Amino acid sequence: MACPLCDRLKLSGDKKYPYLIHEFKNSYLYLGEHQFYRGYCVLVTKDHYKEMTDIPEEQRIEVFQEMMIASKLIEKTFSPNKMNMCSLGNVVPHVHWHFFPRYISDRDFKNPPWLQMHNFDSAKIGPEQRDELIEMLKTNFKSLSRVSDSGEGLTSS
């Protein structure tokens, strides 16, 4: 079955997908190709699972820890007023989490980010802005961490 996220994972493994921020043990963290919400990122599990409940429990706990590290990284880098995390998968049924940093200044702060999705394409970014944002995130990742992939360091800072 063709899966666009499995295709992206393959590109990531070959270092050919330029939006990659970090490779975790069980997932990849990407900068979103649009930045309608500044700092929008997506975390994709390395294995093709349709539901979170399909992931073996031990691995699911690790995925959750990776999600928390990703969220903390985005919070630290962009200081949103609120983080929105969503996993839907109706279009691409391969577990992935959207991280939408939300700001009081958003035009529709109190509503779900999807209500603006018709504007997402207009917020696609070029290579320069992409590289700048990824660099900011990577720099913060180093200071967030001593984050081993076990999630240590999460409670620090």
DSSP secondary structure code for residue 3 in this structure: -
Contact 39, 133 (CB under 8 A): yes
Measured from the CB atom, is 72 or 94 closer to Zn ion? 94
Residues that bind Zn ion (CB under 5 A): 3, 5-6, 48, 94
Min separation Cβ 118 and Zn ion, Å: 26
For 56, the token pair is 């073996």
The closest alpha carbon to 141, from 70, 38, 67, belongs to 70
Min separation Cβ 89 and Zn ion, Å: 10
Contact 77, 39 (CB under 8 A): yes
Contact 41, 74 (CB under 8 A): yes
CB atoms within 10 A of CB 58: 7
Min separation Cβ 146 and Zn ion, Å: 31
Measured from the CB atom, is 33 or 47 closer to Zn ion? 47
Min separation Cβ 11 and Zn ion, Å: 13
- CA–CA separation, 82 and 45 (whole Å): 24
Measured from the CB atom, is 30 or 78 closer to Zn ion? 30
